[in-house]
Structure 1
Amino acid sequence: MRPSRTAAVAASLLLSAGCAFVDPATAEVAPRTVAAGYVALGDSYSSGAGAGDYLPSAGKNCKRSSRAYPVLWAEAHRPSSFSFLACNGAGTGEVLSEQLGPLGARTRLVSLTVGGTDSGFATVMTSCALGGTPCRSAVSRARTAMDGPLARNLDRLYSVIRNRAPAARVVVLGYPHLYHLRGSCALGLPEVERAAINDAVDHLNEVIAQRAADHGFTFADVTSAFAGHEICSSRPWLHGVDVLAITESYHPTAPGQSFGYLPALDRAS
């Protein structure tokens, strides 16, 4: 995909509003008073935004996909019960206030991705589309947010998850690099901005991994799995800017979920 700068700005602005399994047709939030064996929490990278085949029971906003890695894992492993709570656009606050109901003493596995929204990645994408100083400033502000508010919010969220699900294995998955450097995109962000965005993703993953380790959780890195499949690669597993499906921009495709995220959860669980 060859996004223009104008499209990138528009997509980033709109993106900020919107960054088991037994049967896909019946996958939905489990009753909040009943603990589930596997609980999938988090943001759009866990809900499957960008993967298509969205579950009607989840509503339009959460974009929970039957091709998302939590659904695929649950199909393969058949946990005693499965609650799929991940939702497009969720930050740590939304996970804390809206997604933790099914956790309990019988929960054996929890997976989640969260942190991109808290870090202001939509602003980073918008600013980097303008290039130069705005991009560097946005990345600097995002790194400050990662080291400060995000780290504190993750500590709070992780503590509550552990308290509510004391016996669960908790797998925190990271984020892939968005861009393949020296790739095939002739248009869109300049190479230096693409590198700056990837560096910001690395720092985000470092912060998430450290907080996860401090709480006894397992961090699953997906950058190596997505290597060679970023935006501007010959076989991308991430959407570039799509003005016709704006909330899917910068999100994993169905292959990104099945070949990038699912093996990472398999290894960690």
Structure 2
Amino acid sequence: MPSLVRAASIVAGAALLLLAPVARAAPAAGGYAALGDSYSSGVGAGGYLADSGDCKRSANAYPSLWHLAHAATEFAFAACSGATTAQVRDRQLSVLNAGTTLVTISVGGNDIGFSDAIETCVLGTDEDCTDAVAKATTYTRDRLPADLDATYAQIHHRAPNARLVVLGYPRLFELGGCFPGLSEAKRRVLDRAADFLADTTAGRAGANRAEFADVRGHFAGHGVCASDEWIHGVTLPLDESYHPTRTGHAKGYLPALTGVAP
């Protein structure tokens, strides 16, 4: 069992998973626009851009890496740690215009309260974890589809000539032995919730003229508790906990994107 100090640190890490403040990005005249939450801004990948503040946009994040390989394309990097679907609509879409040719986005994890579920799983019993994840799954089923539909519709309205690529979330955990760490039962239920979130997101992307880039296959064997982890467990800084590492963006997210948008 972790000490009280360790437990407090884990709770803080889980609570900060996707909840940093959201800031605005300057408009760009077309090209590629990267929207979304911390999984798109690159929290956990290091190399944060000086002008990104609490959004923690990383030079090692998959949008930066894709742009590096397409340097002639103008780039608007608006993704921000903590963004919900409503915050994307309110604070990030100003970078889009009729000249935008590609938009990428990952969003939804904050809407369903996934960080709260992780916090409960870290400190609670297996039963507590199951109940908390069920709450997040209920939101995913009952409310998230409308949140995503509204977001994708506004992106298409603002950028009518752009391809929209929606990137999902990986499973966070590997199963089997893992010490110290969450029980296998907790990891299993969290991974099932991640699958349901990814499948729901893929369905809404397909219904809204968007392409879905599934990252789960790319991260398979590299979650928390793997011998070669591409996702942080509890780490310092705490807000990087349960986020992809620099390698996760380069070998997980970027290949998923380039498989859809070479």
Please say whether Structure 1 and Structure 2 have the same fold, judged by a TM-score greater than 0.5. Answer: yes
Deviations for 1:158-217, whole angstroms, at most 9, x for unmatched residues? 11011111111110000011001114x212211000000000000000110011000010
Task: Report if the CA contact (8 A) 1:131-1:190 is conserved.
Answer: no
The equivalent position to 2:147 in structure 1, one of 153, 174, 180, is 153
The equivalent position to 2:159 in structure 1, one of 140, 144, 165, is 165
Task: Report if the CA contact (8 A) 2:67-2:75 is conserved.
Answer: yes
Q: What SS class does the counterpart of residue 164 from structure 2 fall into? A: strand
| Alignment map for 1:9-24 (pairs within 5 Å) | 9-15=11-17, 17-18=19-20
Q: What SS class does the counterpart of residue 101 from structure 1 fall into? A: helix
1:204 aligns with 2:204: no
Structure 1 residue 136 displacement after superposition:
1.1
Q: What SS class does the counterpart of residue 95 from structure 2 fall into? A: coil
Q: CA separation in 2, counterparts of 1:151 and 1:169?
A: 20
1:24 maps to: none
| Alignment map for 1:115-194 (pairs within 5 Å) | 115-129=108-122, 130-183=124-177, 185-194=178-187
Q: CA separation in 2, counterparts of 1:135 and 1:13?
A: 15
| Alignment map for 1:1-269 (pairs within 5 Å) | 6=7, 7-15=9-17, 17-18=19-20, 29-31=25-27, 34-59=28-53, 61-129=54-122, 130-183=124-177, 185-242=178-235, 244-269=236-261
One-letter code of the match for 2:256? A
Percent of residue pairs bearing the same amino acid type: 48
Q: CA separation in 2, counterparts of 1:226 and 1:138?
A: 24
Distance 1:84 1:16, change over 3 A: closer
Root-mean-square deviation over aligned CA pairs = 1.8
Task: Report if the CA contact (8 A) 1:16-1:123 is conserved.
Answer: no
Task: Report if the CA contact (8 A) 1:110-1:169 is conserved.
Answer: yes
Would you identify which runs of 4 or more consecutive aligned residues in structure 1 move more than 4 Å?
A: none
Structure 1 residue 245 displacement after superposition:
0.5
Deviations for 1:41-74, whole angstroms, at most 9, x for unmatched residues? 0000000000001000111x10100001001001
Task: Report if the CA contact (8 A) 2:19-2:81 is conserved.
Answer: no
One-letter code of the match for 2:48? Y
Q: CA separation in 2, counterparts of 1:65 and 1:15?
A: 16
Deviations for 1:54-110, whole angstroms, at most 9, x for unmatched residues? 000111x10100001001001101243110000011110111000001211111100
1:22 maps to: none
Structure 1 residue 16 displacement after superposition:
5.4
Distance 1:40 1:66, change over 3 A: same
One-letter code of the match for 1:212? A
One-letter code of the match for 1:213? G
Task: Report if the CA contact (8 A) 1:46-1:69 is conserved.
Answer: yes
Q: Bigger CA drift: 127-136 or 232-241?
A: 127-136
One-letter code of the match for 1:87? C
Q: What SS class does the counterpart of residue 104 from structure 2 fall into? A: strand
Stretches of structure 1 that go unaligned for 5 or more consecutive residues are 20-27
Distance 1:195 1:91, change over 3 A: same
TM-score scaled by length of structure 2: 0.92
TM-score scaled by length of structure 1: 0.90
Q: CA separation in 2, counterparts of 1:76 and 1:15?
A: 29
Task: Report if the CA contact (8 A) 1:48-1:65 is conserved.
Answer: yes
Number of residues of Structure 1 aligned to a counterpart in Structure 2: 254
